Amino acid sequence: MTYEVKGEPTPVVICKLNPEESMITEKGSMVWMSPNMDMQTSAGGVGKAIGRMFSGESMFQNIYTAKGGPGMIAFASSFPGTIRTVQITPDKPVIAQKSAFLAAERGVELSVFFQKKLGAGFFGGEGFIMQKLSGHGTAFLEIDGYGVEYDLAPGEKIVVDTGNLAIMDATCSIDIQSVKGVKNVLFGGEGLFNTVITGPGHILLQTMPISAFAGAISSAIPSKS
């Protein structure tokens, strides 16, 4: 499989497949494809289907396979931002925000990932449930806005505003810390908590989470009298 990511601010990834090669998606994000792409819908087992549902995805997977020769299929982002390519290997699973998954080679498995610390889940802005990508293959993930990457050393920490964590290696951990000072909480505009990510591992932060975008839009809309 070869691929090319095109377009801003709503990008598309165009994948060229060898005969009998397959791609999976769970959002109905296919936007165009060659006529020889065969689609099959599968739940992949009850347990996996329920896990995907809790992680923010559909219970069913669409599997597209190139039949009778090479094929082409394109998947588009659902929100202005970027599409990032992640290489998944058995020894390097990746954790992503809910609904980040766009498409992947068939060897990639998507499952639910629960935060080990309840506080990080309920107050960290990332949700108690995230997505885990494991297995082997290339995966494409949606990033809200622009993505900035960091490599954290063992024990190294970074403090992130809620909702700005998009992707991290499974070796990283998440916790929360409260914003100090009553004035900071009441007038600082940053909320009550920040997310703290601890290495080792690679992380990707996004500049415009959907929640922040929705808040900015709603505040600009005049209220009806």
Question: Mean pLDDT for each consecutive 10-residue tract of the chain (225 residues)?
Answer: 93 97 90 97 58 55 96 94 95 91 94 65 55 96 94 96 90 81 44 82 89 54 61
Give the largest Cα separation in the chain, rounded: 66
At 212 the pLDDT is 55
Angle at 84 between CA 56 and CA 171, to 5 degrees: 70
At 183 the pLDDT is 43
At 94 the pLDDT is 96
Q: Check: pTM over 0.85? Answer yes or no.
A: no
At 16 the pLDDT is 98
At 123 the pLDDT is 46
Tell me: domain 2-217, CATH 3.90.1300.10, correct? no
At 9 the pLDDT is 87
Q: Which two tokens stand for residue 41?
A: 């819908």
At 208 the pLDDT is 83
**From the CB of residue 95, how many other CB atoms can be counted at a distance below 10 Å?**
23
At 186 the pLDDT is 41
Three-state DSSP state, 217: helix
Q: Which two tokens stand for residue 11?
A: 């990008």
